[in-house]
Amino acid sequence: MSRDNDRWLTDLREDGEAREAALSELRTALLRNLRQALSRYSVDDAFLEDAVQDTLLRILDRLGQFQGRSRFLTWATSIAIRVALGELRRGRWKDVSLEGVLATAGFVPDQIVDRESPPQAQAERRALLHTLQQLIEHELTERQKTALLAELKGMPQDEIARHLGSNRNALYKLTHDARKRLKRGLETAGYAAEDVVATLPR
C-alpha cells in the first residue's frame, strides 16, 4: 500500500492489468476507510460496497481534478464520504415533501424570547428578531425564503435542490445571496455581524 500520488494516477489512467490492480487496491482501501468513517451510522456491507462502487466511477471521471495537494487516498476518501453520507441523507428524506417541511416552518419571534432573561435583554432580542423577520419578509425572494427555511429545518441541500428543480451549486448561491441580504439589512439597522454572533450560545 505504498503507492504515491503519481503512481495512482498513472496506473488508473492505464489500460489493462496495472489499472485493474490499482482499482482493486483502491476499492479495498476505500472500503476500509468508509467502514471506519461510517462506524457511527448504521449501515451494512451492501451499502458500503455500493457507495464504494459509485465513488470509483466518480473518481475515474474526475482524475483530472485531483491537484496532488493531499495524498490521493485521502482525496478519494473525502469523495467516498460525500457519496455515502449523501445517500444516507437521501434515504432519510426521500419521502418528505418540501411543502410538508415548509408548512411547519414559520417565523414567530415572540415565542423565542427567553422569558428567564432580564427584561432589557428580552427587549433587545425581540427587537433583533423583529428586524430579522421584516428583512426575511421584504428582502428575500420566495425562492430564497423557501431554500433558507428548508435548510434550517434540516432538509439536505441535494433534496432542496431537487425539489426546486435546481442543483447544489445553484442552491448554495441562492442561500448565500439570501444571507448576504439579511446581513446587510441587519447592519443597516445597526446590528454588527460580530455582535450578533457574540450574543449566541456556543
Partner 1 sequence: MTLSKKEIDSLLRLVGLTRESELNCEQCLALVSEFAERQLAGKSVSESLQHVEHHLSICEECREEYEALRRTLEAVEEQDG
120 binds partner 1 (CB under 8 A): no
d(CA 79, CA 124): 44
Query: Could you tell me if residue 190 is left (phi over 0), alpha (psi between -120 and 50 degrees) or otherwise beta?
Result: left
Question: Which of 23, 96, 102, 105 touches partner 1 (CB under 8 A)?
Answer: 105
Q: Least CB distance from residue 169 to partner 1, whole Å?
A: 5
Question: Which of 43, 75, 144, 163 touches partner 1 (CB under 8 A)?
Answer: 75
Residue 199, SS3?
Answer: coil
Beta-carbon contacts of 158 under 8 Å, excluding residues fewer than 6 positions away, are 86, 89, 90, 168
Is-contact 37 48, C-beta < 8 A?
no
Three cell numbers written together for 158 = 441535494
C-beta closer to partner 1: residue 20 or 170: 170
> Which residues are at the interface with partner 1 (CB under 8 A)?
32-33, 36-39, 65, 67, 69-71, 74-75, 77-79, 81-82, 85, 89, 104-109, 111-112, 114, 128-129, 132, 148-149, 152-153, 156-157, 168-169, 172-173, 176, 179-180, 182-183, 186, 193-194, 196-197, 200-201
